[in-house]
């Protein structure tokens, strides 16, 4: 086994060797090759920060992951792992002298332990030798146990039983899969069910013994699929208890958002106990106070609504009594982290086009903004400071620290500084206008790279998905306005009614009104942007959107048909009726439209793009993927068939190996090249 080498750099600008970019406007090749920081983990003393760094292997057409570490003051950057296999999910041992992490270097994903003392990283040692892949690693506060997830058959009494069944199934020649009518999702996001469930296990940190299934017998995924992770479970302060979130499956799983918190002994000696059965909405992201007396967690109040506001609840573990804090603060937090004295909670939340870092007083609920601008993410306590990731419209994620009471933030990593040296980006401007119902609506304008006063520029008008989402001040790896600005386009983005970060009433306003107020906001927002920025050529404009944004493109085709010179619809809804009957998470359309299709057909048909195809006439690029089970590919096929039958100039870009998102580097490059070529064709006369 190759021993990882120690690399220490005195200057962060030379810490990650890369060819300095020749001066040029930002483009998709810059986008896919930038290094991506995630999962910052402060050491117990808070003096060192371990983190994951993703780099892109274009030849292999995938990302690879390594562990790195930096001092909390920004010095002493060290690469900890260099194995060709991906290493991620670092977690400190309590003594601060070693890191547990996950790696596939043995042929399957297992837990490893890496010494990281004063002499630098040592030889990693494999801790677990389980017959199944390990995911979502966490270490108990006392270091005695590991918690992680494994995919198992619920009725299997042992991990070995699952392995034996999988091996036997692999030998079968028949490929058919029979799905029972009472097991919940038979396909979800981008995968068909194989009968396996994520279950939460613990094991002594030595790796010895049999893992204990804390969720045994539960027809549930812990953590949840497809995006749940370690934020959905936690050890108590003394390490004796684990609290996790789960939705017990069954026939109702596709239309239920009833996640509950469960408590179980960390050694698996007793069955889990439901702590939040009284709430039929979403309960998640538990966090214990340092003294172990209080459990904080996030809770929604409306069943069936995935974009409801999260409220912060505190449970006294001795009495079981609960209280809600910061209730007047009309924002939806993401994650909770206690201060060492238990008096403060740290969190982030979308807020008027930004995602600030907030401190919340546990006693009185006062909310203080510690970091105001950009997209703060994944805050952790590091001694007397908070470490967090931060990105903006002009910068990918880097690690920063800020005092626990605020103050001036300090940037401690610069992993893309050399790669972006000389790369031009467009200047963003945040603006507001009067939208539907006279409400204040916000948006962004991004100038083209190399902007010259007096010159007029064509427009890329981007429409976000969700619809409960936001075009915030962040560096996006799929819908990044800089890829259009770098190609010479002005960019306008509008946070229409339904967007997040403007209060729950604004988010709720889109329900049963998908093509109403949001369309008015887009129309008024474009008008306001053109008035504000006369250098934008409104006569050369293309509208682009994905998911709900793709629906809106299809809706614009028939309901704003004379405005744009071209359109791009990615994974958009074409027919609301068949969308309901073929999607997987039924709670989503049922909340948005007021019930199942057969009960609320009028609401589905009110804003159904298929009903206005007689007015379609704008040239349109349709993009869809074969593994998209959220909005199945037949929706894109139907839109393209309509365009072809009507003789409207159109193209169909199909990805058989992508889901609702385009993730593979080569596919991302193809996507951007195709989309920009489509815009050039219709908006740049010399090319047309």
Active site residue 339: no
Each residue's pLDDT tens digit, 83-120:
999 999 999 999 999 999 999 999 999 999 999 987 77
pLDDT of residue 39: 98
Is residue 16 predicted with pLDDT exceeding 60?
no
pLDDT at 148 over 70: yes
Please, what is the average pLDDT of the chain? 95
Active-site annotation holds for 660: yes
Q: Which of 311, 660, 672, 680 is catalytic?
A: 660
Q: How distant, in Å, are the alpha carbons of 220, 278, 356, 471, 500 from that of 465?
A: 28, 32, 21, 9, 11
Q: How much of the chain, in percent, has pLDDT values that exceed 90?
A: 94
Residue 12: predicted pLDDT: 30
Q: What is the pLDDT of residue 214?
A: 98
515-518 long-range Cβ contacts below 8 angstroms, 24+ apart: 515/552, 515/555, 515/559, 515/606, 515/607, 516/436, 516/607, 517/435, 517/436, 517/437, 518/436, 518/467, 518/552
Q: Which pLDDT score, from 0 to 100, does residue 15 have? A: 41
Q: Tell me the per-residue pLDDT of 331-346, one tens digit each, with 9 for 90 and over.
A: 999 999 999 999 999 9
pLDDT, tens digit (0-9, with 9 covering 90-100), for 529-569: 999 999 999 999 999 999 999 999 999 999 999 999 999 99
**What percent of the chain has a predicted confidence (pLDDT) above 70?**
97
Question: How do residues 582-599 score in pLDDT, each as one tens digit?
Answer: 999 999 999 999 999 999
Q: Does the pTM exceed 0.75?
A: yes
Fold of 425-683: Rossmann fold (3.40.50)
**55 flagged as catalytic:** no
Q: Where are the domains of the chain?
A: 425-683
pLDDT digits (tens, 9 = 90+) for 595-651: 999 999 999 999 999 999 999 999 999 999 999 999 999 999 999 999 999 999 999
pLDDT digits (tens, 9 = 90+) for 201-214: 999 999 999 999 99
- The single residue of 98, 236, 289, 547 carrying the catalytic annotation is 547
Using the predicted structure, report yes or no on whether residue 177 has a pLDDT greater than 80.
yes
Q: Residues 415, 420, 423, CA angle at the centre, nearest 5°?
A: 170
Residue 466 burial (CB count, 10 A): 15
What pLDDT, in 10s, does the model give residues 466-511? Answer: 999 999 999 999 999 999 999 999 999 999 999 999 999 999 999 9
Q: pLDDT by residue (tens digit) across 407-431?
A: 999 999 999 999 999 999 999 999 9
* Catalytic-role residue among 283, 628, 668, 672: 628
Indicate the burial class of 679 (C-beta count within 10 angstroms; 0-12, 13-18, 19 or more): buried
CA atoms within 13 A on the CB side of 467: 33
Q: Rounded to whole angstroms, how far apart are CA atoms 602 and 594? A: 10
- Mean pLDDT for the stretch of residues 445-463: 97
What are the E-state strand segments in 223-317? 233-235, 241-246, 260-265, 273-274, 283-288, 294-299, 311-316
DSSP secondary-structure letter at 549? Answer: H
pLDDT at 120: 79
Phi and psi at residue 436, to the nearest 5°: -60, 145
> Using 50, 70 and 90 to split pLDDT, how confident is the model at 20?
low
Please report the pLDDT score of residue 183 as a whole number.
84
Residue 204 sits at φ, ψ, to 5 deg, of -55, 145
pLDDT at residue 170 in the model: 96
The 10 Å Cβ neighbour count of residue 597 is 19
Instruction: Indicate the SS3 state at residue 517.
Output: helix
């Amino acid at each position: 086994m190759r021993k990882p080498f120690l690399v220490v750099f005195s200057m962060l600008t030379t810490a990650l060797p890369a060819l300095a970019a020749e001066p040029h406007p930002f483009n998709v090749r810059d986008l896919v090759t930038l290094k991506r920081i995630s999962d910052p983990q402060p050491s117990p003393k808070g003096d060192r920060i371990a983190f994951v760094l993703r780099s892109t292997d274009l030849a292999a057409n995938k990302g690879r992951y390594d562990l790195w570490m930096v001092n909390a003051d920004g010095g002493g950057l060290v690469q900890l792992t260099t194995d060709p296999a991906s290493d991620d999910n670092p977690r400190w041992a309590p003594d601060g002298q070693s890191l547990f992490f996950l790696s596939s270097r043995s042929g399957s994903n297992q837990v490893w332990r890496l010494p990281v003392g004063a002499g630098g990283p040592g030889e990693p040692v494999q801790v677990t030798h389980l017959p199944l892949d390990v995911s979502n690693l966490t270490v108990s506060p006392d270091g005695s146990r590991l918690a992680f997830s494994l995919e198992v058959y619920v009725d299997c009494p042992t991990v070995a039983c699952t392995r034996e069944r999988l091996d036997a199934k692999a030998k079968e020649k028949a490929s058919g899969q029979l799905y029972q009518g009472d097991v919940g999702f038979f396909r979800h996001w981008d995968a068909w069910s194989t009968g396996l469930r994520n279950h939460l296990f613990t094991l002594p940190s030595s790796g010895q013994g049999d893992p204990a299934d804390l969720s045994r017998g539960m027809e549930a995924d812990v953590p949840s699929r497809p995006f749940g992770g370690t934020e959905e479970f936690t050890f108590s302060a003394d390490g004796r208890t684990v609290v996790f979130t789960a939705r017990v499956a069954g026939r109702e799983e596709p239309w239920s958002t009833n996640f509950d918190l469960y408590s179980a002994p960390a050694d698996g000696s007793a069955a889990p106990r439901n702590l939040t059965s009284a709430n039929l909405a979403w309960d998640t992201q538990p966090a214990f106070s340092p003294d172990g007396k209080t459990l904080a967690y996030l809770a929604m109040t409306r069943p069936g609504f995935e974009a409801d506001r999260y409220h912060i609840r505190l449970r006294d573990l001795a009495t079981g009594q609960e209280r809600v804090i910061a209730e007047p603060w009309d924002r939806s937090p993401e994650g909770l982290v206690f201060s060492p004295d238990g008096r403060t909670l740290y969190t982030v939340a979308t807020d008027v086009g930004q995602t600030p870092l907030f401190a919340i007083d546990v006693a009185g609920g006062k909310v203080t903004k510690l970091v105001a601008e950009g997209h703060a993410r994944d805050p952790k306590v590091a001694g007397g400071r908070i470490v967090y990731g931060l990105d903006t419209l002009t910068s990918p994620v880097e690690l920063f620290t800020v005092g626990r009471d605020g103050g001036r933030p300090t940037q401690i990593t610069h992993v893309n500084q050399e790669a972006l040296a000389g790369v031009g980006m467009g200047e963003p401007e945040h603006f507001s206008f009067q939208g539907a119902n006279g409400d204040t609506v916000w948006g962004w304008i991004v100038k083209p790279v190399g902007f010259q006063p007096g010159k007029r520029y064509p427009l890329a008008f981007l429409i976000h998905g969700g619809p409960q989402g936001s075009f915030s001040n962040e560096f996006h790896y799929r819908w990044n306005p800089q890829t259009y600005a770098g190609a010479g386009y002005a960019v306008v983005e509008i946070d229409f009614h339904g967007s997040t970060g403007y209060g729950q009433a604004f988010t709720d306003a889109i329900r049963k009104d998908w093509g109403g107020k949001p369309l008015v906001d887009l129309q008024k927002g474009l008008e306001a942007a053109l008035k504000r920025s006369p250098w934008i050529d409104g006569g050369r404009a293309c509208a682009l959107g994905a998911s709900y944004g793709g629906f809106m493109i299809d809706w614009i085709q028939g309901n704003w048909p004379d405005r744009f010179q071209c359109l791009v619809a990615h994974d958009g809804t074409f027919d609301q009726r068949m969308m309901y009957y073929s999607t997987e998470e039924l709670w989503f359309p049922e909340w948005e439209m007021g019930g199942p299709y057969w009960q609320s057909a009028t609401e589905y048909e009110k804003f159904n793009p298929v009903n206005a195809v007689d007015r379609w006439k704008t040239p349109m690029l349709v993009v869809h993927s074969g593994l998209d089970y959220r909005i199945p590919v037949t929706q894109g096929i139907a839109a393209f068939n309509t365009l072809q039958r009507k003789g409207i100039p159109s193209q169909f870009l199909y990805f058989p190996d992508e889901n609702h998102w385009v993730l593979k580097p080569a596919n991302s490059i193809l996507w951007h090249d195709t989309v920009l070529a489509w815009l050039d064709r219709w908006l740049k006369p010399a090319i047309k």
